[in-house]
Amino acid sequence: MSDVTRILNAIERGDAKAADELLPLVYEELRLLAAQKLSREPPGQTLQPTALVHEAYLRLVEADCRGWNSRNHFFMAAAEAMRRILIERARRRRSLKYGGDREKVDLDDVVLACDEQEFSANLLALDEALEKLSQTDKVKADVVKLRYFAGLTIEQTAEALGFSVNTAKRCWAYARAWLLQEIG
């Protein structure tokens, strides 16, 4: 059992000091994931990887339903927390007060979008489609969350979800095609 898993089990049992031990063990890895995700954001992004990690970590530790049973499960929860933070920021930016009446751009153009408002609209469209995908195929939706929102490689995604690299590649290819069709 890894140190992270041991600490997660202690947190599950209600050990208040265990949460303090967890951050130093996972901080650099979480920060790397956040930096990878934010590197895809348009220029002018004000959220820093450190702030994203801290916000996600606070949400994870303060959550009432922390039933993490492994290191991979924790990182999946971290990817979900980061996704939700970015979605909330996109919704705030999209509101009419901030020019939320802008047009949507195709998923292929999301990474290339240089306007933060357009990026927010695209991120929200992606989130809506991802929610729909998760209702029909949660595994493929999890692959997208880990790849797109957490910035994991295909190998890291396969390891996190506990299946082969080839399976992860197939799920990623299917999910991308499905999302493009859904958004397009």
The per-residue pLDDT string of the chain (184 residues; one tens digit each, 9 = 90 and over) reads 577 777 777 777 777 677 777 778 788 888 888 887 777 776 666 778 888 888 888 888 776 556 667 778 878 888 888 888 888 887 877 775 555 555 555 544 544 444 566 666 778 888 889 999 999 999 999 999 888 888 888 998 998 899 999 999 999 999 988 888 888 7
Using CA atoms, how far apart are residues 148 and 184, in angstroms rounded to an integer? 18
How many domains, in total, are found in the chain? 1
Q: In whole angstroms, what is the distance from residue 119 CA to residue 27 CA?
A: 27
Domain coverage including residue 65? 3-183
> Would the pTM of this model clear 0.75, i.e. be above it?
no
Nearest to 74 by CA among 5, 143, 155, 168: 5
The number of beta carbons lying within 10 Å of the beta carbon of residue 89 is 19
Residues near 63 by Cβ (< 8 Å), separated by ≥ 6? Answer: none
